[in-house]
């Protein structure tokens, strides 16, 4: 088949983008022709996949998204394909890979009433209804039970078009035989002594990932713990706002801000705890990456994959409604607890016994099945 893959932008360090590329490559490996349509592409271009850049303009992001969707729809009208797979919500999709959280839920829980009168709200509401609404025929591939509950609640009747998919964690996050050597080299590189505590946070989109919460939790620790704690933030975003917050909290010397990078396993093996108090997260691959690496996790239940932390016994989960005091208490307790060795062992065991890796093959199979079924229905009619 010829498949159109739609994504607003690609860069190498986003979870959504990594999923997109893994699925595109798997579909291409199965013999399908994959044509990608995007507004921006950063990084290497994969062989065997056609990348089409759609140059649209607009001051506001939702304006650019609307123009992109319209431009792609017009192009596909004149150059039809067998199926359209979207990694962002928009009209005209056969299959939607649900990398984004439920917009209706976020607008209700995180925004004031006035937000519903803005052009941004109207745009994202319309595009989410185009995927999940009663008139839609789009099938959605969901990353977590949290997503399923939220979409089914806000869009009754869509349940038959929702499909659960497993995670797609890379196995290089599992500890290799020389993990002790990797850890020692990492800690030496970053000037970490044996009794120092390295708190890691990974993710692009620092606001949504709760970096402000992390910094406040670090600042709240007693001097005896905070003075030997280093916070390392790795992600592709603008850090200046958070550097200023760290300075105002008096913890700038404890913080290291790093851009997105390719050696994430070294950080997972070299640090002592993953902190991920996100405001909202469809899945949160980094939670599972840390778990299978043996790195204890502290996160929030608004992350789709938080249930894996509880199920694995690999850390702690802050329940909603979020409390900064609760996060502060848990962070201090986890960093000073003897249970870290238990969380470490539980996480490694979970990664060895649970299917956390088959997402690309599962999704490629579902795309093929769903689009083939649609074509057969159309042929009969």
**One domain for residues 345 and 363:** no
Model pTM score = 0.91
Nearest to 46 by CA among 90, 100, 5: 5
In sequence order, what E strands does 203-279 have? 229-234, 255-258, 273-276
Q: What is the pLDDT of residue 381?
A: 80
**One domain for residues 6 and 135:** yes
Backbone angles phi, psi at 162, to 5 degrees: -100, 135
Q: What is the pLDDT of residue 314?
A: 98
**One domain for residues 278 and 130:** no
- Please state the domain count of the chain: 2
**One domain for residues 76 and 184:** no
**One domain for residues 234 and 319:** yes
Q: For the chain, list residues with pLDDT below 50.
A: none
**One domain for residues 315 and 344:** yes
**One domain for residues 189 and 323:** yes
**One domain for residues 331 and 362:** no
Q: What is the pLDDT of residue 130?
A: 98
The span from the CA of 354 to the CA of 87, in Å, is 26
Within its chain, how far is the Cα of 195 from the centroid? 32
Burial pattern 83-106, b for ≥16 Cβ within 10 A else e, equals bbbbbbbbbbbbbbbbbbbbbbbb
Q: What is the pLDDT of residue 13?
A: 86
**One domain for residues 105 and 208:** no
Domain hosting residue 365, numbered range = 2-166+358-380
Q: What is the CATH number of the domain that holds 259?
A: 3.40.50.2000
* H or E segment to which residue 151 belongs: helix 145-154
Structure-token match 């790093």, residue found: 258
pLDDT in tens, 14-39: 889 999 999 999 999 999 999 999 99
**One domain for residues 343 and 371:** no
- CB 305 within 8 Å of CB 284: yes
Give the bridge partners for 303, in sequence order: 281
**One domain for residues 110 and 236:** no
Number of H helices, E strands in the chain: 15, 15
Structure-token match 């950080």, residue found: 267
The DSSP symbol for 46 reads P
The span from the CA of 196 to the CA of 194, in Å, is 6
**One domain for residues 53 and 184:** no
Name, in order, each residue with C-beta under 8 angstroms of 126's C-beta and a sequence gap of 6 or more: none
């Amino acid at each position: 088949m010829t498949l159109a893959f739609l994504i607003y932008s690609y860069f190498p360090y986003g979870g959504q983008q990594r999923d997109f590329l893994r699925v595109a490559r798997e579909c291409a490996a199965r013999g399908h022709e994959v044509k990608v349509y995007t507004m921006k592409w950063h990084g290497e271009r994969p062989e065997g996949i056609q990348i089409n850049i759609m140059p649209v303009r607009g001051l506001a992001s939702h304006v650019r998204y609307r123009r992109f969707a319209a431009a792609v729809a017009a192009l596909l009208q004149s150059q039809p394909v067998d199926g359209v797979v979207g990694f962002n919500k928009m009209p005209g999709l056969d299959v939607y890979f649900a990398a984004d959280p439920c917009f209706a839920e976020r607008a209700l829980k995180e925004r004031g009433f006035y937000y519903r009168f803005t052009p941004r709200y109207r745009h994202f509401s319309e595009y989410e209804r185009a995927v999940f609404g009663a008139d839609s025929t789009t099938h959605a591939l969901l990353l977590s039970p949290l997503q399923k509950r939220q979409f089914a609640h806000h869009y009754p009747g869509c349940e038959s078009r929702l499909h659960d998919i497993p995670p797609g964690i890379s196995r290089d996050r599992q500890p290799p035989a020389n993990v002790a050597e990797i850890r020692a080299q990492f800690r030496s590189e970053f000037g970490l002594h044996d009794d120092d505590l390295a708190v890691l946070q990974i993710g692009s989109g620092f606001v949504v990932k709760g970096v402000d919460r992390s910094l406040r939790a670090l600042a709240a620790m007693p001097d005896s713990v905070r003075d030997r704690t280093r916070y390392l933030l790795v992600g592709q975003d603008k850090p200046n706002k958070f550097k200023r917050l760290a300075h105002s909290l008096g913890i700038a010397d404890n913080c290291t801000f790093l851009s997105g990078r390719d050696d994430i396993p070294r950080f997972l093996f070299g640090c002592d705890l993953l902190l991920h108090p996100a405001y909202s997260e469809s899945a949160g691959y980094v939670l599972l990456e840390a778990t299978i690496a043996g790195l204890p996790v502290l996160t929030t239940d608004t992350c789709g994959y938080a249930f894996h932390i509880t199920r694995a016994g690999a850390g702690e989960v802050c329940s909603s409604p979020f409390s900064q005091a609760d996060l502060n208490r848990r962070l201090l307790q986890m960093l000073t607890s003897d249970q870290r060795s238990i969380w470490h062992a539980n996480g490694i065991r979970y990664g060895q016994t649970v299917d956390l890796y088959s997402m690309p093959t599962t999704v490629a199979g579902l795309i093929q099945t769903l689009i083939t079924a649609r074509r057969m229905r159309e042929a009969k009619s």
